[in-house]
Amino acid sequence: MSRPASDARSDAAGAQAAQLEDTGAGRYRVCGAVTLATVSALRAAGLQAFARGSGAIELDLGGVTRADSGALALLIDWLAWAGAAGRTMRISAIPAALLALARLSDVEGFLTGTPAGAPSMAG
């Protein structure tokens, strides 16, 4: 049974704001709109939830309905936190628009785990 690790709110456009669900055993699902307007609360909830666990973190973005550069910055921040904590983070179901933004920003490899210059299997 999953439980919310953060409260759902509405972003400035009235869309369902991002919510982090703890699905157990180091697995989390992000749902809703992950935008500049919503990432601050989501960042704090994520770091708090991740710090309670140990080992690898699996992050499923399949429930993300909208993402912008704030989402990209959040994921890079969470990946950096995981690395500094000596943990790995695997991100799955990355929305195509977010992958395109990461590719444009030349940080796609951070999200997909593909080294820079290697062919990407995503998208």
Predicted confidence band of residue 8 (pLDDT cuts 50, 70, 90): very low
- Per domain, the residue ranges of the chain are 3-112
In angstroms, the CA 19 to CA 41 distance is: 9
First to last CA, the chain: 30
pLDDT, residue 16, reads 75
In angstroms, the CA 110 to CA 96 distance is: 15
> Quick one: CA torsion of 89, 20, 26, 46, rounded to 10 degrees?
60
* Helix (H) and strand (E) counts in the chain: 4, 5
The tens digit of pLDDT for each residue in 25-67 reads 999 999 999 999 999 999 999 999 999 999 999 999 999 999 9
In angstroms, the CA 60 to CA 119 distance is: 22
- Closest by CA position to 109, among listed 50, 117, 4, 101: 117
Region 85-110 average pLDDT? 94
Greater pLDDT, 105 or 113: 105
What is the model's pTM? 0.82
CATH architecture for residues 3-112:
2-Layer Sandwich (3.30)
